[in-house]
Amino acid sequence: MASLEIPTHDMPSLVTPTCLIRSQDVWYDDGNVIIQTGNIVFKVFRGILASNSTVFADMFSVPQPTNAAGPDAYDSCPLVQIYDTPEDTRHFLKAIHDAGYYDVRTTSKFSVVAGILRLSTKYQVPYLRKRAISHLTTMFPSSLQDFQENRNSSPYAAKLGHYTGLAMEVVNLARECRLPMLLPISMYYCAVMRLEHILDGVTVANDDGTVTRKIDLDWPEKRVIILGKRALNFRARTNLFGFLLTSATPAPSLPTNPSGSGCAIPQRCETGKLKWLRQMEPLLSGDKCGPLHMQFDWARYSDDVCPYCVLEGKNKYREGLKKSWEELPSVFELEPWDILKAESLDQ
Ligand SMILES: [Zn+2]
């Protein structure tokens, strides 16, 4: 992991001690170090931070002031100033001090997971970073198998809750925390949003419900996603539903197919395929068109074409889904999956 420049306790504080506000839920009376960010202070345990974070261990290896009246002390403890948001700091410090606070098996708000991921990356706490990654990949997986299991068990898995703009937040977080394995699928979900949302961003309520905030992407990201939208549309038509465009393979009894199995009623099946192509057209032309999440009603399709054509269609659809998954990173101008995963986990 790249080295980080972390301001240490001996940097001048912009906030005088009298203005500081104690955190309501990260304040251990018997703690022995104060972490300050902005005007919020947290009283925690130096040994716990140092044993889990090499960055904090290095910071604490610098001689600490012992004079409680000194400018860098508060509540008789040395004070370490950091420059992360109070919200991220709160989630991170709670997770590192309270084993029950962050459990990947349960639903957590995105802000909790994001805060823990940001600071566990910055302060090098591998076990917390891994937990946050495993949490995010339940909804933004990096394998087709996980994607299908997730989709089949419960759409959106509810591990982070779901709201419009979540995929955009994950794109931004993946860039910030060097997690490119999250990008293909989060960019995919962005690309199948309404074009206005991609262009203008979306406004959502904050966790406290009283303040709204804007979620937006950088322009280079928007450009790639909008171009990707067109590429996804093409892949849905060709990779996934290309079987509706192909002629029925005639059965061996027909003169054009001297060997193997095939369709015994090609004229009827081609009419059936054309009917389904017309039905699919509004979806294939819409903003939400993409090859990974569009469902097809095979039961009703089998009313219009023969069993052979249904089976052939399913095989082509399955192959098309696999192909679309493999091609997903290239749609968004990213490296192949194996490189993205290696770059994400090699930290
Ligand atoms: Zn047929």
Q: Which of 248, 239, 245, 246 is nearest to 294 (CA)?
A: 239
Give 307 Cα–ligand 1 centroid separation in angstroms.
7
Tokens encoding 230? 């067109």
The pLDDT of residue 12 is 43
Give 65 Cα–ligand 1 centroid separation in angstroms.
82
The pLDDT of residue 62 is 77
Give 309 Cα–ligand 1 centroid separation in angstroms.
4
Q: Give the end-to-end CA distance of the chain in Å, rounded to a whole number.
A: 5
Give 327 Cα–ligand 1 centroid separation in angstroms.
30
The pLDDT of residue 171 is 97
Give 308 Cα–ligand 1 centroid separation in angstroms.
6
User: What are the backbone dihedrals phi and psi of residue 257, each rounded to the nearest 5 degrees, phi first?
Assistant: -130, 90
260-262-265-266 Cα dihedral, nearest 10 degrees: -110
Distance CA 26, CA 154 (A): 35
Give 305 Cα–ligand 1 centroid separation in angstroms.
5
3-state helix, strand, coil in the chain (%, to 5): 50, 10, 40
CA angle 199, 167, 239 (to 5 degrees): 85
The pLDDT of residue 330 is 97
Give 168 Cα–ligand 1 centroid separation in angstroms.
43
- Spans of the chain below 70 pLDDT: 1-18, 64-72, 152-161, 251-260, 347
The pLDDT of residue 231 is 94
Give 289 Cα–ligand 1 centroid separation in angstroms.
27
Give 269 Cα–ligand 1 centroid separation in angstroms.
5
Strand partners, 205: 212
pLDDT tens digits, 200-218: 999 988 777 777 889 999 9
Give 325 Cα–ligand 1 centroid separation in angstroms.
28
Give 72 Cα–ligand 1 centroid separation in angstroms.
80
Give 241 Cα–ligand 1 centroid separation in angstroms.
16
Give 151 Cα–ligand 1 centroid separation in angstroms.
30
Q: Which of 130, 105, 55, 52 is nearest to 345 (CA)?
A: 130
**R_g over Cα of the chain:** 27
- The DSSP output letter for 237 is I
Give 292 Cα–ligand 1 centroid separation in angstroms.
26
The pLDDT of residue 4 is 40
Give 310 Cα–ligand 1 centroid separation in angstroms.
7
Burial (Cβ within 10 Å: 0-12, 13-18, ≥19) of residue 187: buried
Give 315 Cα–ligand 1 centroid separation in angstroms.
14
Cβ-Cβ contacts under 8 Å for 183 (sequence gap 6 or more): 171, 174, 175, 329, 332, 334, 340
Give 10 Cα–ligand 1 centroid separation in angstroms.
78
Give 145 Cα–ligand 1 centroid separation in angstroms.
30
The pLDDT of residue 31 is 93
